[in-house]
Chain A
């Protein structure tokens, strides 16, 4: 368990999440891809904290990232609910018509 291996795993998670965020049609699945990306970022931050700078402020950054992920999820679901209610669908291709 070295810094390189931790960062490798984190970049694998981020890449899988990126695939999901780019390719999925359903809004909720896109959000799952985004969640995986943030999980990769969290793991990378944890590794960097332990191997490079084990100072409490690094952990505070991780808490901020965790909070950001929560906010993103909550707002994303609220927007998806609005989309679903107005357009009767939840495909990302329909979001272009949100302005109507």
Chain B
């Protein structure tokens, strides 16, 4: 077993174990950061598959996302940092049954399907090839993703903001109240 195999199995075990831990641990912050650990392990596994840029980006994005998600968890569930058992599930056994069945189906598919041979070989500089693909042949993807991101920002702000600009600046949008800066 080469060092790459060993590293991959470590990442794999860490990813699945911390994924399970998300739903088992006793505190919101632990659940969130268990998910972050799972994602970091997944990113490292992707890195071991020679996609260094995507692995690094997965690690970066997911840690940032989990840091923000932790705030939302606390906001909605209002639990304190002390550890207390929390298990809020419904139809628990049915969910376990479905997920085990899914794993068996997909796993047997992975093992039994006659996968074809590799087609082509990886480019010498994977990151540069990805960049060039995004900027040249797959520019439409780049533009669409950009527009979707802007739309998401607008959706997020519109849905969650409880003040409009008329609340902040007055009915004729002239009242620039310096006391308004920041918290309401």
Direct interface between A and B, CB < 8 A: yes
Report yes or no: B15 in contact with A39, Cβ–Cβ below 8 A: yes
Report yes or no: A57 in contact with B137, Cβ–Cβ below 8 A: yes
Report yes or no: A56 in contact with B115, Cβ–Cβ below 8 A: no
B175 beta carbon closer than 8 Å to chain A:
no
Main secondary structure of the interface of A (DSSP, over half): helix
Report yes or no: B77 in contact with A64, Cβ–Cβ below 8 A: no
Interfacial residues of chain A within 68-94, with CB under 8 A of chain B in the complex:
70-71, 73-75, 77-82, 84-85, 90, 93
Report yes or no: A26 in contact with B76, Cβ–Cβ below 8 A: yes
Report yes or no: B134 in contact with A19, Cβ–Cβ below 8 A: no
A29-56 near B? 1/0 per residue, CB < 8 Å: 1011101100100110011011111111
Given contacts A20-B22, A36-B22, contact A67 B145 (CB under 8 A): yes
Report yes or no: B51 in contact with A25, Cβ–Cβ below 8 A: no
Given contacts A43-B42, A71-B149, contact A80 B122 (CB under 8 A): no
Report yes or no: A29 in contact with B31, Cβ–Cβ below 8 A: yes
Which of B19, B100, B123, B152 makes the CB contact (< 8 A) with A70? B152
Q: Please report the C-alpha to C-alpha distance between residue A67 and residue B57 in the assembled complex, in whole angstroms.
A: 11
CB distance from A92 to the nearest CB of B (A): 8
* A13 surroundings in chain B (CB, below 8 A): 15-16, 19, 38, 42
* B92 surroundings in chain A (CB, below 8 A): 23
Count of chain B residues with a beta carbon within 8 Å of a chain A beta carbon: 81
B1-30 near A? 1/0 per residue, CB < 8 Å: 000110011001001100110110000000
Chain A residues proximal to chain B, CB less than 8 Å: 1, 3-9, 11-20, 22-29, 31-33, 35-36, 39, 42-43, 46-47, 49-57, 59-60, 62-64, 66-67, 70-71, 73-75, 77-82, 84-85, 90, 93
Chain B residues proximal to chain A, CB less than 8 Å: 4-5, 8-9, 12, 15-16, 19-20, 22-23, 31-32, 35, 38-39, 42, 45-46, 48-51, 54, 57-58, 61, 65, 69, 72-73, 75-77, 88-92, 94-96, 98-100, 102-103, 106-107, 109-111, 115-116, 118-123, 126, 129-130, 132-134, 137-138, 141, 145, 148-149, 152-153, 155-160, 162
Given known contacts A32-B35, A39-B19, what 6 new A-B pairs fall within 8 Å (CB)?
A6-B8, A23-B92, A50-B122, A63-B145, A64-B145, A78-B158
